[in-house]
Amino acid sequence: MTRIDAKFAALKAEGKRAFVAYIMAGDPDLETSLEVMKGLPAAGVDVIELGLPFTDPMADGPTIQLAGQRALDGGQTLQKTLDMVGEFRKTDATTPIVMMGYYNPIYNRGVDKFLADAKIAGVDGLIVVDLPPEEDSELCLPAREAGLNFIRLATPTTDDKRLPKVLQNTSGFVYYVSVTGITGSQAAQAAEVGPEVARIKRATELPVIVGFGINTPEAAQTIASVADGCVVGSAIVKEIGAGKPVAEVLAKVAALAAGAHSA
């Protein structure tokens, strides 16, 4: 059982929804992003999604794109991101960490080396948005063999014919993308999301977590109420990008987490 599995089992036992927070590693610099990361669990975050900066983030909107560019301009690398996880693990051995990004940096490092280093650092799961199920042998299956969850995205265009393929090697949880398009582009609507989550849950026992288009505590509550939890990224990254003090960023996170947990 991974930390992700354990966290969702504990939340289910408590009758609580999960709150997942996304930040970009190295944004606006390594020290600040590590400080934010270390403060997330106390702010109510159940699972941390740590973005891996990449030069061509095709699924991300302007907010996340700019965060990745700031991180890259500041010298953030895959190694430094793994080092961040290792540093976090010195004081937190339980909060699950999912590394989210694109395949190119992992491929360049070498899959076997990356998986070994990620496991040692304390990464629990991966979301790699540009590797479809047809490419599971590239990373998904080796990751699972290494003891890491491989989390797959389902979208509004994932129909009943495609869904079993998406789910077949997914573990940890299913990430339901609530809107078509890029991150931060439009607001998620519970009336549309609820039936889709229910459809996915009929096909899997995994938790279904909803992301994209959630930027207020009220939205977090509404969306979490029709799923097993929600993910917020752009709304948090926007605060960081605006140069807000870490304490203010974490206060924003705490309000969003409280919204999700009240569902």
pLDDT for position 2: 96
Catalytic residue, chosen from 5, 27, 46, 60, is 60
- Residue numbers of the domain that contains 121: 3-261
Q: What is the rounded end-to-end Cα distance, in angstroms, of the chain? A: 26
pTM of the shown model: 0.96
Is 49 a known active-site residue? yes
- The pLDDT assigned to 182 comes to 55
60 is known as an active-site residue: yes
Q: What is the pLDDT of residue 186?
A: 62
- Total number of domains in the chain: 1
Query: 89: how many CB neighbours lie within 10 A of its CB?
Result: 16
Cα–Cα distance measured from residue 229 to residue 16, given in angstroms and rounded to the nearest whole number: 8
Give 239's pLDDT tier (boundaries 50, 70, 90).
very high
Among candidate residues 5, 27, 46, 49, the one labeled active-site is 49
Q: What CATH number is given to the structural domain containing 168? A: 3.20.20.70
pLDDT surpasses 60 at 76 = yes
d(CA 241, CA 205) in angstroms, rounded, equals 37
